[in-house]
Every structure is written in structure tokens, then in C-alpha cells.
A and B are shown apart, each in its own frame.
Chain A
Amino acid sequence: MKNGTIITIENLAKHYPMGGGKFTALSDINLTFSKGEFTGIVGPSGSGKTTMLNIIGSLDTPSEGATNVLGTTSREMTPKVAATLRKKHIGFIFQTYNLMSVYTVYENVEFPLLLLKKSVSERKKAVMDAIQWVGLTDKIKSKPPQLSGGESQRVAIARAMVKRPELVLADEPTANLDAKNSHHILRTMEQLNRELQTTFIFATHDDKVIQYLRRIITLEDGTVASDEIAKQ
């Protein structure tokens, strides 16, 4: 891998069994990503964005080809290795927030640190920092059902960022948000990307997100149609 490259994807294809034959969700994908990118995988619904993000995030495995994510190749990627990789180095943000509704904001954000067995004091400092980044210090005791959509997604960002991962994967993070909240969370993520050098990869077809991207990879029917640096 080139210096600064954190992800390489070579000749990737992903098939799903379907009826008697198979359905190809991704094919002929060759991509590299470098540290600190703020990149979007863009394309219409069904073009394979989520599938690609899941493979990068080691939640899914390629049918063909190979990947190398943060130094771990798809060959080495047993469920256990993948779990460790995600636990230590990857944060996820989902369209539906996926917060734990019985936990408070504080507890939701704290969760990844519990998995990492951090000490109480380390946890407390990191959680308070992360909550401050997303501007929810006054809501730490609230539970997700009491939060607006925008607030919920900010909690999800704090949860993804609290362990300061190298890579954050955000799948349609603004799809359920209005314009104001979308811009708010995008500015937050942009700032974290700049300050912490965290690599962000989005899957989106939302123009509001696309405005912020520095690199846009367009998928069409499971293949890369274009890969360009955004002019801003």
C-alpha cells in the first residue's frame, strides 16, 4: 500500500444468491482510500452503496477480489478479527441512528468504550469530549425517545467518534433529517475530520451531503461510474 493509504479494494465483486442463480450487487471495484479522506459513495437507491460500506466495515465479505482495510486483508478476516477491527478502529453511523433506547445519551456514547474495557476515568473524559463535539452536553441524561432526529444522529456521531477511530462509515446519515439538521451534523463531521484526521466515507444520494464531500465516487448498477475530486 502507498504511504497514507488505509483501504485498498481490488477486483471486488459481491453476489447474492437469488432464485436459482445469483444477483450481482457489486462488480469490478478497484479503489483506494487514504487517511483523512472525506469521501462519498454516491448513487441511486439499489446501486450497491450500502453493500460496499458493509464490506469496507468488515460486516460483510467479498464474493470475489480482495480488500485490505487498515492493514487487515479480506483473507485474514475471520469474524473475530473483523470484530476486533471494528471495535478498535471503525465507527458506524446509520440512517436510522440505531441508538439503544433504554440507555441515556451518556450511556449510548459510553458503550464502545465499555467494549474496549477503558477505565472509568478514561471513559468519562472521552464521553464528555465526544458529547461536547456534537453540542449535546445539556442532554447527557436524556434517553433517545426524548431526542429529535437531529439530536439522535448527533448522539450517533458522538458514539462513532468517542473511541477516536481511524475510519467512520456513515450510511445515509441525513436521510431522515431536515436541511438544517443535515447541515449541522455535516459541519460537525467535517470539523472532526479536520481536527482528528478521521477518515469519513459516506454512502448517500443526498445533495446536501454531496456539497461537503471532497471526493465523490459514483456507483451505477454496482460498478464505479466515476471517481473524482470535488471542486469546492
Chain B
Amino acid sequence: MIAFKLAYRNLVGAGLRTFLIVFVLSVAYVLIIFMNGLYQGWEREGKFEMIRWEVGQGQYWEEDYDPYDPITLTDAHAPLPVSLAKATDNGSAAAILITQATVYPEGRMLGIMLKGISAGQQVLAIPTEQFASREDEIPALIGTRFAQSANLNVGDRMLVRWRDVNGTFDATELTIAGIFNSSVPAVDNGQIWISLEKLQQMTGMPGEATLLVMGEHADMPAEVAGWEFKGHDVLFAELDQMIKTKSIGGSVFYLILLALALLAVFDTQVLSIFRRQREIGTYISMGMTRSQVVGLFTTEGAMHAILALLLGAVYGTPLLLYIGSKGLGMPEGTDSFGLAAAQRIMPYYSAALVIGTIILVIVATTIVSYMPSRKIAKMNPTEAIRGRIQ
């Protein structure tokens, strides 16, 4: 306690130099929390939206399905397994059948993924209730991105051409019944959604699906013959990887700032131990042991981090909370990476992030304060009092 008091007095007495170091350290705190909060917010938001629009609580894939290889789609369909039928029937799982197709809006030709999804599903946010509109035509749903890039509007009719189960081409007309706005490009770009029953009829694959998206209330059996379960670990792997890459890139900035501040603390310590020999000798003459003096100087250096924490809290808390409530606009085209990204990201500052950052900065500052201070333990007090140590 006394060490804190003395360290505080000494630091405050040192004036501008202390303030500059404390300021830079405080910026390091705020920046570390802000940047990581942003990535965590993005991750949370991204996952939340992906769960809502694409992945649910996990998926069962027909064993031949490979999303990276559209050629496999001709084989990647199978009758729904009995163990999952109940969930699909009551809407707690969404069955999806996927096939490649071509559409011809106003004479143009576009290669697309035609996806059939059960109309009664309550798992994904895709507004499948709109399928129930009319009997005579095929109502289709698309996302805003695709609508914009392909210049499609509600009410547009177009020819669609696909191969059925035997590989024979067939064609019919579908109508854009609705355009939904999702932050998940994977359900939007180049995709047209129609009802599962319609697609099953069109392709001659009644009762079949390519994958099943499971909702919160669905039972998820561990083993389903012919189907493979993909949990969040697999389905989020790409998003996780991307955020990790980005956050490593982003961390370079604040790590440099932190390193600069630590260097300044180190330098201050070296200098003050050299300049304050007489003071060190005097402490010893008054009955402090050398290790107590080491502790005093270490505390003094580490105190930079404590003062920086207070200063950082003063301007950082309102700043971070403000950005946290308003969100941060993402630059155009962030979602062109093909991964979920909202227009605005809400940074998320977890307790672990805040506490972890505080510990990181305090521990790092303490270490760089301690290293030069060890020299005191080897000082001869009589020489220190005379200020004669070189």
C-alpha cells in the first residue's frame, strides 16, 4: 500500500513525461478493447445471422453433398431419413433440395442454384410462407443482392431450365413472389428459392432432399445412415478463420502502440534508477531493504498502467459505449468476401475481453518496470547515497 502511495507521488511529481506515457498506454487499452470488441461483435452478429438464415443449429448433409463442387449436386439427394421426418413435418427442421438451373429473365441467361425449401419450415428466416400464394405458377424468393445484380423485381416472370433425375432437360416459368433482405450472402447471391414440393416434382425426386437445417427444438440423432451431421464447428469454420485473419491484421496496430508505451516505461525506469541513486541510497539508509526498493520502483513503473486504466476509463468508457450502441458502419463490399456481414457492426465488449486487456497491459508494464529495477538489488548503498554508481 505504501509502495502505491509513494509510486503515485513520484509519478505525479514527474509530470509531463508520466502523462505522455499514461496517455499512450490508455489509448492502447481503449484500442485493444475496441478492435477486439469489433471482431467479437462481428463474430456474434455474423453467427447470429448465419443461424437465422443459413445454418440453424446444425445440418445433416446427404453424404455426397459438397458445397464447393456443384457437379456433385446431381447425386447429392436422397429420401429423407425416417428419424428426421418428424422434425421436418412439424417445421422444426427445414429440408432443402438443391439443383443447378438456368433462368432467362428478359432474354438474358443466368446460371443459378435452384433451392427447394419446405414451405412450413420454422427454422430459417427465409419467408417461405409466401410460397403458398398461387397454385398456377411457381412463386420464387430471392435476396436483395441477387435482385440488384440481376436486375429482378417482384412480379417478374422468367423461364427456368433444369435437369431432372434422369438428366433430361425440362423448363417452366417461375414468378418472383418476394425479395428478402438478409445479411448472409450464402442464401442470396445467385440463388432462387422455391417450395420443396415443387422442386421435388420438377426434378422427379419426391420426398428427397440434399440437406436438412435443424431448428432449436429438433432432436438431432448422432448417427443417420447416409447423412452426415455438420455442427457449428464445421459450418462456422470459414467465418471463424476469416475473423481470425482479420483480427491478427488489426492487432498489429495496437501491438505497436503498446510496444511503444512499454518501451517508454522501460526507458523511464532505466533513467530514473540511474538518476535517483541518491534517493535509492536514502531509502536504504532509512531502513528499506533493497528488494523493497526494487518493489517500489517496479510499482512505480506499473503504476503507469493503473493511471492509464483510470484515464482510459474516463474517455474510453463513453466512447466505447457510444460506438457500442450506434454500431460501426462497415465499408461497402465487406460482404463480397461471401461471408455474413451486416451494414453496421455492433462491437461487443465481453467481460473477459475487458478484464483480459487490463491484465495484459498491467502485467506487461510490470515486467518492463521490473527488469531495469533488478539493478537496485545489486547496488552498494554507500555508493548509491553518494550518487557515484555509473
Chain A residues at the B interface, C-beta cutoff of 8 Å: 50-51, 54, 57, 59-60, 79-80, 83-88, 90, 92, 94, 96, 98, 100-103, 107, 111-112, 114-115, 117
Contact = CB atoms under 8 A, between A and B. Distances in A.
A60 B386 CA distance: 13
A111 B286 contact: yes
20 contacts: A54-B382, A59-B284, A59-B385, A60-B382, A84-B287, A86-B284, A86-B287, A90-B287, A94-B385, A98-B279, A98-B282, A98-B285, A100-B10, A100-B279, A102-B10, A102-B12, A102-B14, A111-B286, A112-B286, A115-B287
A50 B388 CA distance: 14
Contacts of B13: 101-103
Contact of B385 (A88, A98, A114): A98
B251 interface: no
Interface string B55-69: 000000000000000
Given A59-B381, A102-B13, A117-B2, 14 more contacts: A59-B284, A59-B382, A59-B385, A80-B289, A83-B292, A87-B287, A94-B282, A94-B385, A96-B278, A100-B279, A103-B9, A112-B287, A114-B5, A115-B2
Contacts of A111: 286
Given A59-B381, A60-B382, A92 B9 contact: no
A96 B10 CA distance: 20
A59 B383 CA distance: 10
A124 to B, nearest CB: 15
B376 to A, nearest CB: 13
Chain B, interface size category, equals 20 to 34
Contacts of B9: 102-103, 107
User: Can you list the 7 inter-chain pairs with the closest CB atoms, starting with the nearest?
Assistant: A87-B287, A102-B13, A86-B287, A98-B282, A92-B285, A83-B289, A54-B382
Contact of A115 (B278, B286, B382): B286
A112 B6 CA distance: 12
Given A59-B385, A60-B382, A101-B13, A92 B278 contact: no
Interface of B: 2, 5-6, 9-10, 12-14, 278-279, 281-282, 284-290, 292, 381-382, 385
A44 to B, nearest CB: 18
Count chain A CB atoms within 10 A of each CB in B9, B12, B279, B381 and give the residue with the most.
Answer: B381
B287 A88 contact: yes
Contacts of A59: 284-285, 381-382, 385
B278 A98 contact: yes
Contacts of A114: 2, 5-6
Contacts of A112: 286-287
Contact of B286 (A50, A51, A54, A87): A87
Nearest to B380: A60
Nearest to A103: B9
A87 B385 CA distance: 16
A85 B289 CA distance: 11
A192 to B, nearest CB: 18
A23 to B, nearest CB: 15
A205 B258 CA distance: 54
A86 B285 contact: yes
A114 B292 CA distance: 13
A84 B287 CA distance: 6
Contacts of B385: 59, 94, 98
A86 B284 CA distance: 9
A18 to B, nearest CB: 15
Contacts of B278: 96, 98
Contacts of A86: 284-287
Nearest to B12: A102
Given A94-B385, A102-B13, A57 B287 contact: no
